[in-house]
Amino acid sequence: MCEHSRWDTTHVEQWVDIQYFRGDTSYVWHYRETRRATELKYFVFLEDIRGRDHRGLLERLGEDGAFGCWFYEFPDRPR
């Protein structure tokens, strides 16, 4: 249980870059399919969240793309 399988020092030094920690990293995988499939997946996620967002947080909080965060823009939808 104490043996590291993925998060050893070498892996972290090679793959974790704080400048892009919200991008495609070991922590967050954004883009593992074709671009179109990924965009569709994120559109479905967005629609699900919009349906449950009774406080309007999607519109109020927004997304600036900082730290390598990938975002998608869909017509008449928040980024």
DSSP conformational letter for 34: -
Taking alpha carbons only, the member of 34, 28, 33 closest to residue 70 is: 28
- Of 11, 10, 28, nearest to 20 by C-alpha is 28
Distance CA 13, CA 37 (A): 30
Whole-model pTM over 0.85: no
Domains of the chain, by residue range, sit at: 18-68
pLDDT in tens, the chain (79 residues): 667 666 777 877 777 777 777 776 666 666 677 888 888 988 999 999 999 999 999 989 988 888 888 888 999 998 8
Residue 69: the pLDDT is 82
Backbone angles phi, psi at 46, to 5 degrees: -60, -45
Rounded-to-10 torsion of CA 7, 10, 14, 20: 40
